[in-house]
Structure 1
Amino acid sequence: MKPPIPLAVIGGYLGAGKTTMINALLTNTEGRRVTVLVNDFGAINIDAALIRERSDDVIGLENGCICCSIGGKLMETLIEISARETRPDLLVIEASGVSDPLRIAQVGMLDRAFRLQGIVVAVDAQRIDETLANAYVGEMARRQIETATAIVLTKTDLLDDDNARRARARVQEIAHTRIVFDGDQGKVPGTLFFSDTAASAPLGLSRSIVPLHQLPAGLRNVTFRSNERFDKRKLKAACLSFSNKLLRAKGFARLDDGSCIELHVVGARWHATPCRDVPHTAIVFIGMIDDNDIQRALAAAPAARAEPACELREECHVGRHG
């Protein structure tokens, strides 16, 4: 059985910089195959034409909101992509500026051939107050910010420090995630889209080294490992208990009924499927997290404590210099 295709949705109101972000991503794939699905609010898909300058694997959907008027076309396209002999390493869906990224993600997740990697929303820092105050589009823009698993503030270079701070504070008032950072000419951390972290280190908590210039201060990659078996319900609650700080989590867990699961968490969304037997529980967390978050949350999740209990070991801090 083929593994699911990672699916990332990029949203944001008109002119926020979504196409620029995708083009920057396509110049830094490090050999990965990326398919881009673009929806434009009109009969001519301008965004798809612009993105095709960077990639041959671009599919355009025209005439309206991807999650309502052309939902059937979206499903047909997803089925076609999943049936390819050579499947992409990542599918990126660029939502139109007047659509709901969460609904698009839900449509994509109806097919088990895909697994949500994240909902990244671009926010124009220069026009955020104007956009949110607009009687026609303000509520949609707010909804886009609320449902994001990561926010990229664009055009902060056009603001002075005080106005940039105000724009960030306004976003943080609305967003349900703490993963908020500035985009640099559309460049965003590959961590938002790709997660190739292997779970092969000793038991305990460890942090992977990630180039500091690619990540906002405080964003860490932390791996939890344990010989214990877990109560599935408690484990789910534990992983979701700090969802506002979590960009993504993935890994394998041993359960108290003798089974094992592969789990994926994106923000406040949890997905678990049965898997082969694994030697120990290993979960990678990416987010604005620290040891206390994970210790506190997972302490109550084991069904029965094994000996020895898991160790806590710190290898490296990421983002301390930010």
Structure 2
Amino acid sequence: MSGFQSNTSIKLLAEKLGLSKGTVSKALKDSHEISVATKAKVLAAAQELNYIPNHFASGLKSRKSRTVAVIVPEIVDSFFSLAIKGIEAVTQEKGYHINVYITNDLRSKEEEIIKVLSDGRVDGVLISVCRETTDNCHLKKLVDYGIPLVFFDRVADDIEAGKVVTDDFEGGYIAARHLVEQGCKKIYFLSISEGLSILRKRMDGFIRALHENNVEDPSKNVYQIPTDKTKSEEAIRILLSSPHHRPDGIVASVELLTIPMYNACKQLGIVMPDQLKIVCFSNLLYASLLSPSLSTITQPAFEIGQQAASLICNSIERDTFIKNERIICPSKLDVRESTSTAALSN
């Protein structure tokens, strides 16, 4: 091979050969799914066009980087930091490295990262999609390029790939039912996105629990909160100050809302759990140290990371794509002082 031709891509090879990009990619990886004749045809065209993937110039047939990309919206949220630890525990044991990419919950950033990874610099991708992602065309490119893909927590339901999740519907249901059992009459669900599937499922579980307890049109009890800290505190203060809509129970859909809720209560002189009871979806390590300690729907973040890593490593090692495998890791309700006077007295 005489040299590197940077403008030659898998797409160009596919067009030249009349094959799909996925088939070309698998052939270049020496996949058992591709016939010997097709592999030879692809390799011959690759040599003719001086095609060498950027990060694997040492050879077309032995291109394993032993690297897995992990794409997350953020790492400030304790869920993702714990999930990454779970991923790393498995990948290290299996001899893989991880590269962590942060989207900051921006679709444009997510698209940029996917574009960078599409050249085959990693052996597989683990992703929790950003809040802005509703159209998944950019994610489907990974499948087109033959790169193993597994979703965890925030998933793209319309893409056939491995998925590791918790039962978000059940979590929303349990949280709302707990507040009903604690005597709450006006319960609100605080969300930060109408489009993110996990939040819709949590909301649906919340609505089901209120329906079962004869609340008329509980969808009116869903309140959208901005993600900006100052704006979120202001929105929560407005809700808690409303003479007609002030809740006595809140299900917070994400950990991000914890501090704004506590700050708003402090500023308004609202006493938990006497005047307001709060349950939050959270993996905060210091939830028990807050005053009052925070009742949470706790997700098994570390286990979710482990399961996702196991799926992607198995997919890479077997050189196969996981299409419809879905692993559900149950969450649990941890009752603390923000919802229970009994917990407060213990």
TM-score normalised by the chain length of structure 2? 0.32
Query: Where is the strand percentage greater, Structure 1 or Structure 2?
Result: 1
